[in-house]
Structure 1
Amino acid sequence: MNFFLLKYRILFLLLNFVSGILISEFCENEWLLITVISPVIGALCLTQKQLAPLIFIPLGLLFSAKIPPPDNHIIHFAGKRVDIEGILFRPVETTEKGSKLFIDVKYVYTDSRQKTATGKVLINTGERVWGPTYRDRVKVIGVKLRVPKGFKNPGSFDIKRYYERHGIYLSGFISQTEQILLIRNPGLYLSLPFHFVDTYRVRFGEFIREKSTSPEAEILSAITIGDRGGIPSELRDRFSETGTAHLLAISGLHLGAIAVVFFFTIKWLLKRSEFLLLRFTVPRLAAVLTVIPVIVYTAIAGFSIPVLRACIMTCVYLTSIYIGRDENKLNTLALAAFLILVCYPWSLFDLSFRLSFASVVGILLMHRFYPLKFNTGTERLVSSIKTTVAASLATLPFIVNSFGILPLVSIPANLFAVPVVEFLIVPIGLISFITFILSENLAQFFISLDVTLIKLLLTGIENLTKLPVAFITVPALSKLSTGFYVLTLIALLLKSRYKRLIFLLPLFTVCFVLTLLFSFQIKPKTDYLKMSFLNVGVNESALFLQLPDGKNLLFEGGFLYRRNGGYMERRIVTPFLLRSGITTIDYLILTSVDKNRLDGVNYILRKFKVKEVLTNGSKLNGNLWEAMERKKVLWQNIQHKTNINFGDLNIEFIKPKKANIRDSREPYPILCKLSFKDTALFFGESILDREFKDSWSFNGKNNLLYLQEIEKNSIDVIKELSPNVLITRHIPYSLKNGMDKNTKVFETDTNGTVTVITDGKEVYIKTFMDEYL
Structure 2
Amino acid sequence: RWLDHHPSGVAHRDLMLALLIGDRSTLSPERWTRLQRTGTNHLLAISGLHVGMVALAGLWLGGILGRGLNALCHRIPASAVGQVFALGFALFYSALAGFSIPTQRALIMIGVVQWVLLRRGSLPAATGLLLAWVAVLVRDPLAPYDTGFWLSFSAVAVLMLALGGRRRAGAQWWGQTVVRSQWAVFLGLMVPLLILVHGVSLVAPIANLLAIPLVTLMVVPWLLVALLLGALWPWASDLSLVVADLGLSALLAWLEWLEDVAPMTLFQTALSWPALALAGLATLLMLLPRGLPGRWLGYPGIVLALLLPGPPVPPLRVTFLDVGQGLAVAVQTPDYRLVYDTGPTYSERLDAGSGVIVPYWRQLGVHQLDAVVVSHRHDDHSGGLSSVLKSLPTEALWVGDATLSTSMPGRDCHQRASWQWNQVKFRFLHGGFPAQVNGNNRSCVLEIEYAGQRLLLTGDIEREVEWRLVGRDQLNGSIDVLQ
Select 1:313's aligned residue among 86, 109, 112. 109
After superposition, the C-alpha distances for 1:369-404 in whole angstroms (9 at most, x for unaligned) are 65489966xx11111111122223333333223322
- Identity of counterpart residues, as a percentage? 19
Partner of residue 544, structure 1: 331
1:567 equivalent to 2:351? Answer yes
In structure 1, the residue matched to 2:199 is 405
Contact 1:351 1:398 in 2 (8 A): no
What TM-score results when the alignment is normalised by the length of structure 2?
0.78
Report the counterpart of residue 479 of structure 2 in structure 1: 744
Residues 558 and 221 (structure 1 numbering): CA distance in 2 closer, same or farther, change over 3 Å? Answer: closer
Residues 616-643 of structure 1: CA deviation (Å, up to 9, x unaligned)? 689655xxxxxxxxxxxxxx8465xxxx
How many pairs align? 461
CA distance in 2 between counterparts of 1:257 and 1:696 reads 56
Query: Deviation string for 1:166-191 (max 9, x for gaps)?
Result: xxxxxxxxxxxxxxxxxxxxxxxxxx
1:468 paired with 2:263, answer: yes
Name the CA distance, whole Å, in 1 between partners of 2:283 and 2:346. Answer: 47
CA distance in 1, matches of 2:7, 2:169: 40
1:696·1:721 contact (CA, 8 Å) conserved in 2? Answer: no
Q: How does 1:369-768 map to 2 (within 5 A)?
A: 370-371=166-167, 379-438=173-232, 442-466=236-260, 467-475=262-270, 477-494=271-288, 496=290, 498-499=292-293, 501-502=294-295, 505-506=296-297, 510=300, 512-518=302-308, 520=310, 530=316, 532=318, 534-535=320-321, 537=323, 540-546=327-333, 551-557=335-341, 567-579=351-363, 581-585=364-368, 587-589=370-372, 596-604=384-392, 610=393, 613-615=395-397, 637=409, 639=411, 655=412, 670-676=414-420, 681-683=426-428, 689-690=433-434, 705-724=456-475, 742-748=477-483
Indicate the SS of the match to 1:207.
coil
Question: What's the CA shift for 1:474?
Answer: 1.5
Give the Å deviation of 1:745: 5.0
User: 2:153 and 2:320 mapped to 1: Cα distance?
Assistant: 35
Q: How far is 1:705 from its partner?
A: 4.6
Name whichever of 552-561 and 234-243 sits farther off. Answer: 552-561
Counterparts of 1:386 and 1:224, CA distance in 2: 29
Q: Give the conservation status (yes or no) of the 8 Å contact 2:38–2:255.
A: yes
- 1:233 maps to which residue? 29
Aligned with residue 294 of structure 1, among 90, 96, 106: 90
Matched residue type, 1:600: V
Output the amino acid matched with 1:385.
V
Alignment CA distance shift 1:314-1:566 (3 Å): closer
Are 1:328 and 2:110 matched, yes or no? no
Asked whether the equivalents of residues 337 and 371 of structure 2 are also in contact (C-alpha less than 8 Å), the reply is yes
Distance verdict in 2 for CA 1:331–1:679, change over 3 Å: closer
Taking structure 1 as reference, are residues 697 and 229 closer, same or farther at Cα in structure 2, changes over 3 Å only?
Answer: closer
Q: CA deviation at 1:472?
A: 1.6
- Is 2:28–2:349's contact at 8 Å kept on the other side of the alignment? no
Distance 1:366 1:268, change over 3 A: farther
Q: SS state of the match for residue 614, structure 1?
A: strand
Structure 1 residues 365 and 556, CA, compared in 2 at 3 Å: closer, same or farther? same
Cα-to-partner distance string for 1:634-688 (whole Å, 9 max, x where unaligned): xx8465xxxxxxxxxxxxxxx4xxxxxxxxxxxxx7543323399753349x976
* Pair 1:392–1:558, CA change in 2 (3 A): closer
Secondary structure of 1:228 counterpart: coil
User: Per the alignment, do residues 222 and 395 of structure 1 end up closer, same or farther by CA in structure 2, a change over 3 Å counting?
Assistant: same
- Give the CA deviation at 1:217: 1.7
Shift of 1:411: 0.4
**Residues 598 and 688 from structure 1, CA distance in 2 versus in 1: closer, same or farther, beyond 3 angstroms?**
farther
| Cα distance change, pair 530–293 in 1 and its aligned pair in 2 (3 A) | closer
| Aligned-pair CA distance for 1:409 | 0.7
Deviation at 1:513, TM superposition (A): 4.2
- For the 8 Å contact 1:567–1:600, the answer to whether it is kept is no
Question: Structure 1 pair 589/339, CA: closer, same or farther in 2 (3 Å)?
Answer: closer
Residue type of the alignment partner of 2:211: A
2:226–2:237 CA contact under 8 A, matched in 1: yes
CA distance in 1, matches of 2:328, 2:110: 47
Using structure 1 for the length normalisation, give the TM-score: 0.51
Secondary structure (helix, strand or coil) at the match of 2:244 reads helix
Q: How does 1:76-475 map to 2 (within 5 A)?
A: 206-211=1-6, 216-264=12-60, 267=63, 275=71, 285-325=81-121, 328-368=124-164, 370-371=166-167, 379-438=173-232, 442-466=236-260, 467-475=262-270
Higher Cα Rg, which structure: 1
Aligned to 1:124: none
CA–CA distance in structure 2, aligned partners of residues 689 and 543 of structure 1: 27
Q: Residues 600, 675 of structure 1: CA spacing in aligned structure 2 closer, same or farther, 3 A cutoff?
A: closer
Equivalent AA in structure 2 for residue 487 of structure 1: L
Task: Quote the Cα distance in structure 1 between the aligned partners of 2:164 and 2:238.
Answer: 44
Relative to structure 1, the CA distance from residue 386 to residue 454 in structure 2 (aligned partners, 3 Å threshold; closer, same or farther) is same
Q: CA RMSD of the aligned region, Å?
A: 4.3
Q: Is the 8 A contact 2:223 2:241 kept in 1?
A: yes
Q: Deviations over 1:309-348 (max 9, x none)?
A: 2112113223434444357333322232233333323324
The alignment partner of 2:368 has SS state of strand
CA contact (8 A) 2:219 2:248 kept: yes
1:197-240 C-alpha deviation (Å, 9 max, x unpaired): xxxxxxxxx12133277982222122112223332333222222
User: Does structure 1 retain, via aligned residues, the 8 Å contact 2:268–2:365?
Assistant: no
Aligned pair in 2 of structure 1 residues 721, 383: CA closer, same or farther (>3 Å)?
Answer: farther
Separation (CA, whole Å) in 2 of partners of 1:539 and 1:323: 55
3-state DSSP of counterpart to 1:381: helix
TM-superposed deviation, 1:497: 5.3
Q: Which structure 2 residues correspond to residues 18-33 of structure 1 after superposition, within 5 A?
A: none
**What is the distance in 2 between the residues matched to 1:681 and 1:574?**
23
